């Protein structure tokens, strides 16, 4: 009977592991399948075209060039490889400036003929209009509409997914913002975490250790939104006053909040690693005449370096994947940061803030899933690093 019970338990455990593995694989496949749709999307908004005069020599424009044209930062066709003539912008809402209601028709039924005629007789025009409003495609020159490229996404320096006529999905500001905040968070958390771990493992008496350890571990259970509120009410105004900033929401505020959140992980793992150092090694060091502090930094820390590194890397993982706290204190500016005192935006914060507003199945929706894929690979790299460090021979 006992053997049958043990076999049942083994089967349940095996099934649990199998189901968990299958669930993880399915989640990853779903993430990839949704993300890859971005590279099948067109640069210009779906259902619209960019119509030029038939004699215009420009065949295609990059998403950034299209944005600059419609933002009037590029005003002459020669700046994008065309003839020397000024660019004339036309959007559908401009139709009433060129035509009367009678010409357009009550339901815009005549608008297509009017707009096509306008493009035919205006050499420098670029018209952003619905495709059905170009009634005679052979009479105009339609700008080539390519699909969104890998280069535009991973080398793009601007994130503006709601721009018209061409959304911009540059990941560089979000990736650099994530890494920037995480780097400074670890630079802040590491010295404090290591100091507290050394104190608890090597210096503090049992009574103090029994008080500190539960308090530090309790920090791990505090919801991230509470840390966000603390950062917003305390850290942000303090940084604004100390550094005389126009706004206190910045990368430094996010780094400090993340450092506080990463401390429990770093302290707990590091302290456990140091306490695993054999007592005989400590006693041998002291017997040779070394002081307590010499023993700590010449014996205990080198012996525990694998565990310390694992704690640091796990702390980085906590910082990279954090959402709400960072969303509340970093200012959410999707720009490539040049200073830690500037507002920035991270990948998790972008996904949390925009996924609810992105139309399902669209390019914006797919780009957020692709950001999830990037975050997945960053986390995977961190996990592999932990495994490599943990298995390394002391």
- Per DSSP, the residues of 155-179 read S---EETT-SSS-EE--HHHHHHHH
Q: What is the mean pLDDT of the chain?
A: 86
Across the strands, what pairs with 344? Answer: 331
Please tell me what DSSP assigns to residue 89: E
Q: pLDDT for 227-236, tens place per residue? A: 999 999 999 9
Judge whether residue 211 has pLDDT over 90. Answer: no
> What pLDDT band is residue 389 in, cutting at 50, 70 and 90?
low
Give the helix/strand (H/E) hosting 266.
helix 251-275
Q: pTM of the prediction?
A: 0.85
Contact call for residues 370 and 38 (beta carbons, < 8 A): yes
> What pLDDT band is residue 291 in, cutting at 50, 70 and 90?
confident
> What pLDDT band is residue 394 in, cutting at 50, 70 and 90?
very low
Tokens of 229: 């509120």
Tokens of 122: 């205006």
Could you give the CA distance from residue 260 to residue 151 in angstroms, rounded to a whole number? 36
Instruction: Taking residues 294-308, report their average pLDDT.
Output: 83
Judge whether residue 215 has pLDDT over 50. Answer: yes
| Domains detected in the chain | 48-148 (3.40.190.10), 172-391 (1.10.3720.10)
Contact call for residues 138 and 48 (beta carbons, < 8 A): no
3-state DSSP assignment of residue 392: coil
Contact call for residues 202 and 303 (beta carbons, < 8 A): no
Tokens of 272: 């456990």
Can you count the helices (H) and strands (E) in the chain? Answer: 18, 6
């Amino acid at each position: 009977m006992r053997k049958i019970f043990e076999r049942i338990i083994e089967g349940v455990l095996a099934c649990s592991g199998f189901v968990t593995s299958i669930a993880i694989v399915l989640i990853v496949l779903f993430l990839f399948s949704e993300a890859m749709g971005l590279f099948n999307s067109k640069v210009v908004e779906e259902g619209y075209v960019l119509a030029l005069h038939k004699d215009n020599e420009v065949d295609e424009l990059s998403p950034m060039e299209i944005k600059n044209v419609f933002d009037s930062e590029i005003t002459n066709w020669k700046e994008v490889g065309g003839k020397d003539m000024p660019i004339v912008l036309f959007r559908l809402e401009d139709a009433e400036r060129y035509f009367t209601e009678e010409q357009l028709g009550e339901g815009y039924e005549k608008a297509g003929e009017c707009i096509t005629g306008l493009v035919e007789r205006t050499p420098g025009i670029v018209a952003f209009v619905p495709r059905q409003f170009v009634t005679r495609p052979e009479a105009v020159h339609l700008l080539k509409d390519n699909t969104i490229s890998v280069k535009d996404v991973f080398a793009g320096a601007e994130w503006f997914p709601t721009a018209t006529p061409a959304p911009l999905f540059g990941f560089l500001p979000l990736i650099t913002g994530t890494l920037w905040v995480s780097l400074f968070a670890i630079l802040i958390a590491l010295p404090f975490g290591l100091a507290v771990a050394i104190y608890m493992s090597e210096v503090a008496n049992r009574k103090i250790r029994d008080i500190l350890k539960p308090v530090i571990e309790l920090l791990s259970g505090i919801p991230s939104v509470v840390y966000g509120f603390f950062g917003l009410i305390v850290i942000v105004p303090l940084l604004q006053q100390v550094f005389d900033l126009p706004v206190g929401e910045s990368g430094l505020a996010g780094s400090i909040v993340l450092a506080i959140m990463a401390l429990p992980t770093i302290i707990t793992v590091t302290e456990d690693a140091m306490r695993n150092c054999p007592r005989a090694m400590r006693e041998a060091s002291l017997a040779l005449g070394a002081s307590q502090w010499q023993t700590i930094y010449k014996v205990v820390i080198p012996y525990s370096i694998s565990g310390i590194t694992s704690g640091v890397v796990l702390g980085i993982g906590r910082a990279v994947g954090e959402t709400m706290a960072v969303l509340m204190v970093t200012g959410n500016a999707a720009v490539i940061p040049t200073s830690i005192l500037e507002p920035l935006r991270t990948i998790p914060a972008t996904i949390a803030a925009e996924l609810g507003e992105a139309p399902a199945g669209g390019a914006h929706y797919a780009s957020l899933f692709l950001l999830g894929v990037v975050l997945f690979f960053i986390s995977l790299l961190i996990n592999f690093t932990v495994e490599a460090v943990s298995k390394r021979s002391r």
